[in-house]
Structure 1
Amino acid sequence: MAPVFSHGDLRLYLLNLLDESPRHGYDLMQALSDRTGGTYTPSAGTIYPRLAKLEEEGLVTKVVDGRKTVYEITDAGRAEVAARAGELEGIEAGLADSVRLIAEEVRGSVREAMKSLRADLAASAQSERHTASERATSASASADDDRAASREQVRRAEALVGEFRANVRADLRSHLAHGGSLAASIIDDLSRALDDASRALTQALRR
């Protein structure tokens, strides 16, 4: 994934956030996470050196408030933000594109997982019908064999569902661990797809 902020953009964006209001370091990190839809959550090792540099340049000042250090933009900092307003608009547009692309990637992954699940369930149902047909035409097939074959298909279906569940959980946790966000619409898509798959299986079993 490409960096959320290009070289120098984070410095300008920090000035922009401080132009809105004085903030302490954690507040700035949280604001960056919120503004990027969770796609970028900087560490203290990223933020504080840049704040120190801005202070050296006379663009921000800091005041110790209890256990927190509050940073505030100076007139020189405001002048730079105003002079680079066009660059800030470009940064905001880039952040919006980044959030949209992440959401599309997650939705695409969920759709592919749902497609695979439906295919597996359909194959399982078809195999069950084929097995049932063979048992019906075989005079030597016993009731015990029939039940054993059905139990085997049930175990197969459970294994498929378990594998899908594990894959989806791993994908979601990995996405969040890398700073990604998870919109409600994505889970809504997942819920609808699972409902569709469940209905398809029910209809297949009734045939």
Structure 2
Amino acid sequence: MPPVFSHGDLRLYVLNLLDDGPRHGYDIIQALADRTGGTYTPSAGTIYPRLAKLEEEGMVTKSVDGRKTVYEITEAGRAEVAARREDLAGIEAGLADSVRLIADEVRGSVRDAMRSLRADLAAAGAEQRTAPDERTDDVRTRSREQLQRADAAVNDFRGRVRADLRTHVARGGELSENLVDDLVAGLDDIAREVTRALAD
């Protein structure tokens, strides 16, 4: 996957985040992770030198709040953000593309898993048809084992997605209607595929 931010874009995007209000370094790191859908989580070694450079340029000031250093944009920083709105719109579009790419990859992984499940179910069905007298107890045992495995997989998926969504919203990230629509449609597709595979 190509870099999320091109040369110079991260500097401008950090300024844009500070234009929304003062932030400490860790808050900036979290905001970047949230707004890129988890595709980019910069290290402290990436963010703090850029903040120091912005301070040298007179674009931000810093103050100490307890044990945290808080950065605030200056008028010069606001002027640069205002002058580069078109550049920021391009950066935002690139971030949206990155999030869509991740969603596409997740959908692809789900489709691959469904193909594998269908193949397993078809093989089990063929085995049942070829050995009807020997299969009853073995099939029930294997089916119960696979049911437990399927339950665990569904619960794990539900837990991970729910945690990601709740964390994203709790951190102030936007949860778009399109993303939720895609999620619902993808889950509906999976449910239909499972029903169809079980009916074969």
Contact 1:4–1:40 (CA under 8 A) maintained in structure 2: yes
Are 1:15 and 2:12 matched, yes or no?
no
CA separation of 1:119 and 1:158: change in aligned 2, threshold 3 A: farther
Equivalent runs, 1:38-77 vs 2, <5 Å: 38-77=38-77
C-alpha displacement of 1:150: 3.8
Equivalent runs, 1:162-173 vs 2, <5 Å: 162=149
| CA–CA separation in structure 1 for the residues paired with 2:96 and 2:103 | 11
Q: What does residue 142 of structure 1 align with? A: none
C-alpha displacement of 1:24: 1.0
Are 1:189 and 2:183 matched, yes or no?
no
Name whichever of 108-117 and 184-193 sits farther off. 184-193
The letter of the residue matching 1:88 is L
| CA–CA separation in structure 1 for the residues paired with 2:9 and 2:137 | 60
| CA–CA separation in structure 2 for the residues paired with 1:150 and 1:109 | 33
| CA–CA separation in structure 2 for the residues paired with 1:73 and 1:98 | 27
Percent identity among equivalent residues?
Answer: 64
- Deviation track 1:24-46 (CA, whole Å, cap 9, x = no partner) reads 11211121122112222222122
Q: What does residue 98 of structure 1 align with? A: 98
| CA–CA separation in structure 2 for the residues paired with 1:56 and 1:83 | 20
Structure 1 unaligned runs (5+)?
136-145
Aligned residue pairs total 182
CA separation of 1:95 and 1:80: change in aligned 2, threshold 3 A: same
Contact 2:114–2:193 (CA under 8 A) maintained in structure 1: no
Q: What does residue 173 of structure 2 align with? A: none
| CA–CA separation in structure 2 for the residues paired with 1:131 and 1:154 | 14
The letter of the residue matching 1:71 is Y
Contact 1:114–1:190 (CA under 8 A) maintained in structure 2: no
C-alpha displacement of 1:200: 3.6
Structure 2 unaligned runs (5+)?
169-178
| CA–CA separation in structure 2 for the residues paired with 1:79 and 1:27 | 23
Contact 2:36–2:95 (CA under 8 A) maintained in structure 1: yes
Contact 1:106–1:186 (CA under 8 A) maintained in structure 2: no
Q: What does residue 84 of structure 2 align with? A: 84
CA separation of 1:127 and 1:98: change in aligned 2, threshold 3 A: same
TM-score by length of 2: 0.75
* Alignment RMSD: 3.3
C-alpha displacement of 1:61: 0.5
The letter of the residue matching 2:121 is L
C-alpha displacement of 1:55: 0.7
Contact 1:114–1:194 (CA under 8 A) maintained in structure 2: no
Q: Which has the larger radius of gyration?
A: 1
| CA–CA separation in structure 1 for the residues paired with 2:96 and 2:191 | 30
